[in-house]
Amino acid sequence: MGIRFVLMVNKQGQTRLAQYYEYLTLEERRTLEGEIVRKCLARNEQQCSFVEHRTYKIVYRRYASLFFLVGVDNEENELAILEFIHLLVETMDRHFGNVCELDIMFHLEKAHFMLEEMVMNGCVVETSKANILAPIQLMDKTS
């Protein structure tokens, strides 16, 4: 319900982060990612950020070299999801400081932790950056 999956894909089409909130086999995931990424990468700046694919909508936005794609149900508010994507980027930015694609790649588990704090079972849980980053900062301090 709500959010079905969150993907971060670079301009060459390589997946940098993938979090699914519904069950799909490995094969299905690969085909899905291939199709969606091709559709989104082919669009230019002027076109709108919402793509319809099968039974759900993809909301995407490009930040530098990375595409953030969120797959949602048809009833979801797309503009709110755009805001959510922006919030995610800002949170990561606050933690990593000037986040870039390599940061996400090399600290994949931290990116996952952040996403986990924000979204659970397809719903947005927490929108305050301080609250999201608190456990992660705690963990960094102890380890």
Partner 1 sequence: MNPFSSGTRLRDMIRAIRACKTAAEERAVVRKECASIRAAVSDNDNDYRHRNLAKLMFIHMLGYPTHFGQMECLKLIAAPGFPEKRIGYLGLMLLLDERQEVLMLVTNSLKQDLNHTNQYIVGLALCALGNICSAEMARDLAPEVERLLQFRDPNIRKKAALCSIRIIKKVPDLAENFVNPVVSLLKEKHHGVLLTGIQLCTDLCNHSEEALEYFRKKCMEGLVKVLKDVVNSPYAPEYDISGIADPFLHIRLLRLLRVLGHGDADASDSMSDILAQVATKTESNKNAGNAILYECVETIMSIEDVSGLRVLAINILGRFLSNRDNNIRYVALNMLMKAVSVDDQAVQRHRTTILECVKDSDASIRKRALELVYLLVNESNVKALTKELIDYLQVSDQDFKGDLTAKICTIVEKLSPDKIWYIDQMLKVLSEAGNHVKDEVWHALIVVITNASNLHGYTVRSLYKAIQKSADQEILVRVAIWCIGEYGDMLVNNIGMLNLEDPITVTENDAVDVVEIAIKRHTSDLTTRAMCLIALLKLSSRFPSCSQRIKDIVTQSKGSLLLELQQRSIEIDSIIVKHQNIRSALVERMPVLDEATFSGRKAGSILSAAVSASLSSTNGAATSTAAPLVDLLDLGADESAAAAPTSGANFLQDLLDVGTSSYSSQSGTSQAQKSGNDVLLDLLSIGSPPPQNTSSAPDILSLTEDNKTLVSPLDGLSLATGPSVQASSTAMIDLLDGFGPSPPPTKDNGPAYPPIVAFESSSLRLMFNFSKQPGSPQATQMEANFTNKSSDVYTNFIFQAAVPKFLQLHLEPASSNTLPGNGNGSITQKLRVTNSQHGKKSIVMRIRISYKLNNEDVLEEGQISNFPRDL
Residue ranges in contact with partner 1 by CB under 8 A: 1, 15, 17-19, 21, 23, 26, 29-30, 46-52, 77-80, 82-84, 86-87, 105-106, 108-109, 112-113, 116, 120-121, 123-131, 135, 138-139, 142-143
Largest CA distance in the chain: 47
Burial degree of 54 (CB within 10 A; 0-12, 13-18, 19+): exposed
In whole angstroms, what is the distance from residue 108 CA to residue 45 CA? 28
- Looking at the Cβ atoms of 50 and 56, the one nearer to partner 1 is 50
Task: Supply the minimum distance, in Å, between the C-beta of residue 121 and partner 1.
Answer: 5
Which amino acid is residue 89, in one-letter code? Answer: V
The 8-class DSSP code of residue 48 comes to: -
Task: Supply the minimum distance, in Å, between the C-beta of residue 116 and partner 1.
Answer: 6
Task: Supply the minimum distance, in Å, between the C-beta of residue 73 and partner 1.
Answer: 13
